[in-house]
Amino acid sequence: MILTVTLNPAVDHTIQIDELPAPGSVARTSDAQFDPGGKGINVSKYLVELGAETLATGPIGDFLGEYIDDSLDDEGIPCDFVQIDGCSRLNTTLLTDGEEYKINHDGPTVSGDAVDRIVDTIGTYDPSTVVVAGSRPPGLGPDAVDRIARAGPWRTAVDVGGDTLADLTAEYALCKPNREELAAATGHPVDSLDDCIEAARALRDCGFDRVVASLGADGALVAGESGVLHADALAVDVVDTVGAGDALLSGFVDALERGRSDREALQAGVAVASRVVAVPGTDVPTFADVRTDAESVSVSVV
């Protein structure tokens, strides 16, 4: 099983209006969407579509937390969340006039006790891999991620901010930074593909067995024990890049769970991500024949 931990789950609220209202006036719309959000939750969504055994956990509270729990149940995403006193956050995206505006809540304060209960929940399911993904809520430092990684025999993968990556001290099976997070974690330039390769090598030396970096139009790479592999992006019509990194991670860890090599896992990750960027938001596309797509992903040793 691949169990995902989202330390700061959210309800993603998306609304569309014709134009921004003038100060003091009211804009009205009948176009609103609510989705359970958070990087770990997204990973579990994609894993379910890939046919992998997964479960999502993390701290939730109040009516927004209940909405997250109920929505995932309705979608057939296995979950077992830890209840906290605060209210789960609401992230609002406003779409208007070809522009996008985002207002994200910091989230409720989460205590170390909640992390202990998350660790207990993880142990109940005895996963082979734990994915910790997304931002940290108020009250939790990078040590909370380290506690989860050290708490059991599972392999731990992380997809967290670059500042958090730089402060982690446990041993990790892999991390999944994007270009900006590579720079923040290492202080290295990331302007070119060669820059990203050197930054990934440097980050791997900080305690990560593999560094899987998503690089947008430059594809993706994995720095591992045997060197660095680079995969070209597949040629697809990009509709929305939201969730692309989560999809790459999903395909990669699913392939590793099935005993595939780093090369095959990188191909799988790129293929899954290519399906996700072809649909809006975090809608889950079909992954039928995605493994055939993976075979067409060009990978080279760099």
Known catalytic residues?
246
What does each C-alpha distance from 126 to 129, 159, 222, 283 come to in angstroms? 9, 21, 27, 29
Tell me the C-alpha distance between 162 and 211, whole Å: 12
The secondary structure of residue 216, as a DSSP letter, is G
Bridge partner list, 231: 220, 299
Q: How many helices (DSSP H) and strands (DSSP E) are in the chain?
A: 10, 15
DSSP-based three-state secondary structure for 103? strand
Q: Are 262 and 226 in contact (CB under 8 A)?
A: yes
User: 294: which 2 tokens?
Assistant: 């993976």
Q: Is 244 left (phi over 0), alpha (psi -120 to 50) or beta?
A: alpha
Residue 250's nearest CA partner among 62, 52, 106 is 52
CB contact set of 37 (below 8 Å; sequence gap of 6+): 9, 10, 11, 12, 91, 282
Which residue bears the tokens 């990560």? 208
Partners of residue 174 on adjacent β-strands: 157, 210
